[in-house]
Amino acid sequence: MQTSLVLTIEDIKKLATECSLDVVGVTSADSFDDVRQIYLERYAKGYFGEMRWITPERINLGCSPQDMLPGARSILVFAYSYLRDSNVPNENDGVIRGRVARYALGEDYHYFLKEKIELFLDKLKVITGKDFASRISVDSGPVIDRAVAARAGVGWYGKNTNILIPGYGSWVLLGTALVDIDLPLSSHIRKSCGSCTRCISACPTGALVAPGVLDSRRCISYLTIELKGPIPRDLRPLIGDWIFGCDICQEVCPVNIKGKKPNHPEFSDLPGWGHRPDLVSLMRMTEDEFRNKFRRSPVKRTKRRGLLRNVAVALGNSGDRRAVPVLVEALSDHEPLVRGHAAWALGRLGGSEAKYALESRLQIEEDSYVREEIQLALDEIEV
Ligand code: SF4
């Protein structure tokens, strides 16, 4: 059984605040047997899609703290809010705009959140006088951070699968640290979603297949970030104007509407980016421009070809034929993935200019995937 050191949970919270971490909780290093079962069942149903790093072995490891850090006694979980006042552009300025998940507006959190947790642990070593062992994870290791957060009691599992933290909602990034010393445990909150089902009804692709159960293969975040190849054609119209991630199930959540806005500086918009970026400019971005713009951003994960694939889909969904010229240019892009989605978008927007461009490209296109996209677009186009 765990025994508390001289530290109290209030001391730990104070230390977290000193390190500019918004929320901290502590749970035991017991295994997560219930979570293991649930995740293995979801894996068997294919709900993790092409996220090939999620394997039964990794799920087992992530639910076994002793295997991740021999002698582990406690697990700390930290939450860092990315909510801030956003610069909303004038929506009537004639620019065709996309939409970006809020966490992706600024710097890549993997780096700075780990640094904050390292600072916290250094200070904890000084306070306890112990040079304890630790293992930090920020969306990188096998640790299932949401399970840790729920068991530590800092929040509850929402029906949208996010952890909802009183005062902050789910607009938070999570990080964890396994340690091999006993720490005082945090107390549980007694809250739940109750009868609310807003997120389930609001999801345009029906990705929340049951309360708290996400089929990633239909999730817009997965489709625009994790999926590396073509987006299934039947889901493209449902993606709307999202080009990197999606916040719909968070935006409709009543808990989130009341979330604090700490305005942490790391989440300030990158130049030429933001919550509602200009799609036509993005569609013309070169590889060098992509690398320079997103060097310190989570957006680099999709690479240029993934982002432009998403931009093409959003332009196709815009219903705005002013997007046709830039999509015609994209039919000559060096990436087949971009050419294929540009073809789909032209077919969706329709018009004689789009049809002529598709027919012309079909005469010289050599890639079989792109040829198929062009042919399907021509089959459906309205002029
Ligand atoms: Fe829970 Fe309602 Fe928020 Fe969904 S929208 S996570 S059901 S409180």
Note the ipTM here.
Answer: 0.93
Between helix 336-349 and helix 303-318 the angle, nearest 10°, is: 0
**Nearest by Cα to 106 from 219, 285, 266:** 266
Question: Is there a contact between 340 and 310 (Cβ–Cβ < 8 Å)?
Answer: no
Catalytic residue, candidates 11, 34, 122, 139: 139
Residue 251 CA to ligand 1 centre (angstroms):
10
**Nearest by Cα to 374 from 353, 345, 333:** 345
Residue 100 DSSP class: E
Question: Is there a contact between 81 and 262 (Cβ–Cβ < 8 Å)?
Answer: yes
What pLDDT does 88 receive? 63
What are the residues whose beta carbons fall under 8 Å from the beta carbon of 306, sequence distance 6 or more? 224, 225, 228, 337
Question: Is there a contact between 299 and 307 (Cβ–Cβ < 8 Å)?
Answer: yes
Nearest Cα residue to atom 2 of ligand 1? 196
305 in contact with ligand 1, CB cutoff 6 A: no
Half-sphere exposure (Cβ direction) of 175: Cα atoms closer than 13 Å: 25
Coil vs helix vs strand at 322: helix
Question: Is there a contact between 236 and 344 (Cβ–Cβ < 8 Å)?
Answer: yes
Nearest Cα residue to atom 3 of ligand 1? 253
Length, in residues, of the chain? 383
**Nearest by Cα to 309 from 223, 191, 205, 222:** 223
Q: What is the pLDDT along the chain (383 residues), one digit of tens a residue?
A: 344 457 999 999 999 999 999 999 999 999 999 999 999 999 999 999 999 999 999 999 999 999 999 999 999 999 999 998 876 666 778 899 999 999 998 888 888 999 999 999 999 999 999 999 999 999 877 889 999 999 999 999 999 999 999 999 999 999 999 999 999 999 988 899 999 999 999 999 999 999 999 999 999 999 999 999 999 999 999 999 999 999 999 999 999 988 888 889 888 877 778 788 999 999 999 999 999 999 989 999 999 999 999 999 999 999 999 999 999 999 999 999 999 999 999 999 999 999 999 999 999 999 999 999 999 999 999 99
Bridge partners (DSSP) listed for residue 25 = 77
**Order of strands across the sheet with 74-81?**
23-28, 74-81, 172-179, 134-137
Task: Kindly report the backbone phi and psi dihedral angles of residue 60, in degrees, each rounded to the nearest multiple of 5, phi listed first.
Answer: -60, -45
Bridge partners (DSSP) listed for residue 81 = 172
What pLDDT does 2 receive? 44
Tokens of 364: 């010289």
Position 42, amino acid? R
192 in contact with ligand 1, CB cutoff 6 A: no
330 in contact with ligand 1, CB cutoff 6 A: no
**Nearest by Cα to 72 from 62, 64, 80, 60:** 64
Q: What is the domain partition of the chain in residue ranges?
A: 9-85+107-179, 198-380
What pLDDT does 288 receive? 97
248 in contact with ligand 1, CB cutoff 6 A: no
Coil vs helix vs strand at 65: helix
What pLDDT does 270 receive? 76
Residue 29 CA to ligand 1 centre (angstroms):
29
Residue 17 CA to ligand 1 centre (angstroms):
28
What's the predicted TM-score (pTM) here? 0.94
- Give just the sign of the alpha carbon dihedral 210, 213, 219, 223: negative
What pLDDT does 273 receive? 80
For residue 339, the tally of other CB atoms under 10 A from its CB is: 25
Helix extents (H) in the chain? 9-18, 33-44, 56-62, 65-68, 109-128, 145-152, 198-202, 220-221, 248-251, 254-257, 279-283, 287-293, 303-318, 324-330, 336-349, 352-364, 368-380
- Secondary structure tally for the chain: helices H, strands E: 17, 10
Location of structure tokens 């964890």: 176
158 in contact with ligand 1, CB cutoff 6 A: yes
139 is an active site residue: yes
Question: Is there a contact between 238 and 313 (Cβ–Cβ < 8 Å)?
Answer: no
255 in contact with ligand 1, CB cutoff 6 A: yes
Q: How far apart are CA 287 and CA 298, in angstroms?
A: 16
For residue 53, the tally of other CB atoms under 10 A from its CB is: 8
- Give just the sign of the alpha carbon dihedral 67, 70, 76, 82: negative
